[in-house]
Chain A
């Protein structure tokens, strides 16, 4: 899996609590992404990063924030989890635009 590790792999949390998901890569890829995967929607981009401390919003960024203080780590935070954020979250990396995306194993998040 191209050295991409997501943690935790599974999490159940209560509505209104903050949640942080971690993505760690050992490939030194410049670009990192957070996606959510829901049935019938494919993957939707939440946020992405094009370098340390450089991030931008994707198509479904509301309710999510990200941080990237080191090349290898990209954190996704749900400030106040809602049931609509129950999903499988994937981290991905690329070396550039229009290049192969390498994905982690995913984090299954359930908000109750």
Chain B
């Protein structure tokens, strides 16, 4: 019930392509779904977040798609660049202080 399942574990995309990372959850009480980006040797940093009252949120090249009925949400990175190479984490919380994190996706953008 508390898990957030993230896939794939790793992803290689050509420069200019679309990177897609998926997450699924079970707990319907979750009401906040952020995505974090982490570079080696650094702490995670918030990339974009969505609440379940909207189906899509876009910030620049980054878009979250949210499917409430399927209990899934995904991150799309358009026109992927080598600088986007990082580990991406989805997470979810239910109005408290505890973020439940996915296992992470290591994204490599090939020039």
Which residues of A approach B to under 8 Å, CB–CB? 1, 4, 31, 33, 40-45, 48, 50, 56, 58-59, 90, 92, 94, 97-98, 100-101, 103-106
Complex contact A45–B98 (CB within 8 A) = yes
List the B residue with the shortest CB-CB distance to A41: B103
- Bound complex: CA A93 to CA B69 (Å): 32
With a cutoff of 8 Å between Cβ atoms, the chain A residues found around residue B98 in the complex are 45, 48, 58-59
- Bound complex: CA A44 to CA B91 (Å): 11
Complex contact B43–A103 (CB within 8 A) = yes
List the B residue with the shortest CB-CB distance to A100: B46
Complex contact A42–B101 (CB within 8 A) = yes
- Could you name 5 residue pairs across A and B whose Cβ atoms are closer than 8 Å? A33-B97, A50-B97, A92-B43, A101-B44, A105-B43
**B61 touches A (CB below 8 Å):** no
- Candidates A42, A45, A101; contact of B46 at CB < 8 Å: A101
Complex contact B103–A98 (CB within 8 A) = no
With a cutoff of 8 Å between Cβ atoms, the chain B residues found around residue A104 in the complex are 43
